Structure 1
Amino acid sequence: MKVFVVLVLALASASAGLLPNVAPVHPRDRVSTQSITGRITNGKDAVAGQFPYQVGLSFSSSASSWWCGGSIIGNKWVLTAAHCTDGAASVTIYYGATVRTRPEFTQIVSASKFRQHENYMALTVRNDISLIQTSSVSFSASVNKINLPAISSRYSTYEGKTAVASGWGLTSDSATAVARDLQYVDLTIISNALCQKTFGSMIVTSRVLCVATPNKSSTCQGDSGGPLALDGVLIGATSFGSADGCESGAPVAFTRITYFRDWIKGISGI
């Protein structure tokens, strides 16, 4: 009995800091009904052409549909989260929209053009990144690519810097209707060590970048896969937040683009 107790205590001690204190949840998985429910909580309205790299992604499968965000990284490539492409049969891409329902144009792309990370693991939110190969698009003031970080910057932490996240949808946990206009919010990047106090080191690895969410300003459902940009460079894709809610004050996490630069280049050539 004493040996068993010691073993249990040892396992508990070993797992302290590894496992989350708060359950992580993908923004997509907050959606309980088949509707477009993307959101930036307590954000600001974007103006036309402010985020030309932002796209809306309406995914569908035989059983359901869901909304995500994405970033144009080349005239034939969109970057989003693996948990967005996972299980989808196709996606309709909305280009150049500020008003969500009024894009400059759309494309329908089948799942055969999805390049989901081969080692994506939903349980530990590992490798949450996908590329979508599209037909070639012409760039303009309202539709354009965002730069990727230099491969040489893969070890940048960005800690303390303020980046901008964008997406469509609700503006509070109590809202019942999606936003008409593209929303954005400035968020301060925090250290992974601080983020691990909420989600644990098993979840928050070098593949992840976290931000603080003061004043109930955050990303949430439908923002999945959407951009986190710093000085015109894509540094994150919306990945997960707290199961306690989007206005809980817990950090939110993004896929760290610098970690995946070689993977992106290997698939897209970018």
Structure 2
Amino acid sequence: MQTAMTILCLSVAGVGLCLGVGSFLYYRRQLRLFSNILNTFEKTGELVEGENRETMESKLLSRLCRVLKRSRQKEEQTGKERQEMAELLSNLSHQLKTPLANILLNTEILKEGRLSQEEEKQFLLRNQEQAEKMQWLMKTLVKASRLEQGILVFDIFPASLVETLARSISSVYALAREKQISIETQGLKECVCCHNPKWTAEAIGNLLENAVKYSPAGSKISIETEVMELYANVKITDEGPGIPKEEYNRIFRRFYRGEQAEQQEGSGLGLYLAQVILQREKGYITVSKGRDGGACFSVFLLLKE
């Protein structure tokens, strides 16, 4: 009887020892798996979940992988935002450098007191122009950034497209008249589009302002509309130097200025803001070559359902 009890105790102890060793080996294997995953994530940023079994350890491993993925995504997003901010500050610094230098130079000349009353007036007007340019640059940049981030919102509702176009044309009429540029409307079709007249007029006004700026004196800018199945298409065609095809996808970037644009004063924000406004209205802009070699911008606005 005593021998049997001893054998039983030894058997239980042996089983317990085997279970303990097995558990130790199993959990050591799981710890190695976790360690390998963490090492791989630290070195490459990639995650390999390994075995996909319905066990508590596998579920824990999956949770760990999801947490690490979210951490990596947040890290990448933060890095992207820092890079965009650095680029924004660099571009803004470059844009403000010239008008600020002009203001400082004009102020130094005024301080010398050698100018006539008429000359002083001219220098003060130049300073005012440079200050207004800086103010416009900051307002436009802040406006576009707030629109992109959804901080600034505006209502979209059915409204007359022709009335919006008239509003856009009136905003650049004086500028076009100075260069003896005619703005001709060809076959404008009355239609109702889902947009905000004030903001859309500003977007199209930016396109018209660019057309006037880069077109030669005495030339023509034509505006025509086409009613499609879902959209109304507003085509703005000028007789300027045109835009190289390789720049079509770049001209709507913030602060981007092509080779042709470098010969004219500008900021590279007009087309960028126009695109942001139209995207908020679920519309878009494209650019192509005009009939006579100039540029043709097409604005697409959703028709009223």
Q: Which TM-score applies when normalising by structure 2?
A: 0.23
**Larger of the two Rg values belongs to structure:** 2
- Choose between structure 1 and 2: higher helix proportion: 2
Higher-strand-fraction structure: 1
Q: Which has the higher contact order (CA 8 A, sep 6+)?
A: 1
